[in-house]
Amino acid sequence: MRRVVTVLSAVVLALPLTAGASFSAPAGAGGTNTAPPGPVFVDGQAQPVFDPTDIVRDNVWVTAPVDSDRDGKPDLVHVETVRPRATQQGLRVPVVYQASPYFAGGNDDAANHNVDVELNVPGHGHGGHHGTDERVSAAVGGPRALITWSYESYFLARGFAVVYGESLGTGDSTGCPTSGGRNETIGAKSVVDWLTGRARAQDAGGSAVRANWSSGKVGMMGVSYNGTLPNAVASTGVEGLEAIVPIAAISSWYDYYRADGAVVAPGTFQGEDLDVLARYVYTRADREICKPVIDELEKRQDRVSGDYSAFWDERNYLNDVNKVRAAVLEVHGLNDWNVKDTHFAQWYDAVKKLGVPHKLWLHQAGHADPLGLRRDEWLVTVNRWFTRFLYKVPNGVEREPHLTIQREDKTWHDEAEWPVPGSSPASLYLGAGGSARGKLGTSPSHGSAVESLTDDASKTAESLADAASSPNRLSYTTGVTKAPIRLSGGASVDLRVSFSRPAANVTVLLVDRGPDGKSKIVSRGWTDPQNRISPWFTTPVTPGREYPVHVDFVPKDYIFAAGHTIEFVLLSSDHDYTLRPQPGAGISLNVTRTDLRIPVVGGNRALRAAL
Reported as a single tens digit per residue, the pLDDT across 397-440 is 999 999 999 999 999 999 999 999 999 999 999 999 999 999 99
- Range of lowest pLDDT (24-33, 76-85, 576-585): 24-33
pLDDT digits (tens, 9 = 90+) for 308-360: 999 999 999 999 999 999 999 999 999 999 999 999 999 999 999 999 999 99
The model's pTM: 0.93
Residue 454, Cβ density class (10 Å: 0-12 exposed, 13-18 middle, ≥19 buried): middle
Measured from the Cβ of residue 516, the count of other Cβ atoms closer than 10 Å reads 7
Stretch 573-587: mean pLDDT, rounded? 98
CA 34 to chain centre: 46
Decide if 2-415 and 423-610 have a common fold: no
Burial string for 409-418 (b: 16+ CB within 10 Å, else e) reads eeeeeebeeb
pLDDT range class, residue 36, cuts 50, 70, 90: confident
| Residue 336: active-site member | yes
Predicted pLDDT of residue 383: 98
Q: Does residue 303 register a pLDDT over 50?
A: yes
Torsion over CA of 494, 466, 263 and 252, rounded to 10 degrees?
-70
**CA distance linking residue 400 with residue 233, whole number of Å:** 26
Inform me whether the pLDDT recorded for 476 exceeds 60.
yes
Tell me the pLDDT tens digit for each residue of 462-474.
999 999 999 999 9
Find the mean pLDDT for residues 262-280.
Answer: 97
Q: In the predicted model, is pLDDT for residue 32 greater than 60?
A: no
Greater pLDDT, 321 or 11:
321
Residue 18: pLDDT above 90? no
| Beta strand residue intervals within 407-530, DSSP E | 412-415, 423-430, 438-441, 450-454, 474-477, 485-489, 492-499, 506-513, 519-527
Tell me: pLDDT of 2 over 60.
Answer: no
Alpha-carbon distance of 295 to 279, in angstroms, equals 10
Pairing of the two strands 586-590 and 450-454: antiparallel
* pLDDT computed for residue 37 by the predictor: 83
Q: What is the pLDDT of residue 522?
A: 98
* pLDDT of 447: 76
Helix (H) or strand (E) holding 607: helix 603-610
Query: Is 443 labeled as catalytic in the residue annotation?
Result: no
pLDDT confidence of residue 110: 81
pLDDT of residue 343: 98
CB count, 10 Å around CB of 284? 25
Average pLDDT rounded to a whole number, residues 255-281:
97
- pLDDT at site 13: 31
Considering 190, 224, 488, 572, which one is annotated as catalytic?
224
Catalytic annotation, pick one of 260, 336, 341, 512: 336
CA-nearest of 219, 256, 217, 242 to 347 is: 256
Alpha-carbon span 245 to 347, nearest angstrom: 12
pLDDT at 131 over 70: no
**Annotated active-site residue in 113, 332, 358, 367:** 367
Other Cβ atoms less than 10 A from the Cβ of 518: the count is 10
% residues pLDDT > 70 (the chain):
91
Are 330 and 173 in contact, with CB atoms under 8 Å apart? no
| Domain spans, the chain | 2-415, 423-610
The CATH architecture of the domain made up of 2-415 is 3-Layer(aba) Sandwich (3.40)
Which pLDDT does position 34 carry in this prediction? 66
Give me the residues paired with residue 590 across strands. Answer: 450
Q: For the chain, what percent of residues have pLDDT higher than 90? A: 88
Check whether 177 has a pLDDT greater than 90: yes
427 is catalytic: no
CATH code given to domain 423-610? 2.60.120.260
What is the chain's mean pLDDT, rounded?
A: 92
Q: Is the pLDDT of residue 122 over 90?
A: no
At residue 27 the predicted structure's pLDDT band, cuts being 50, 70 and 90, is very low
Residue 29 has pLDDT above 50, yes or no: no
pLDDT for 446: 78
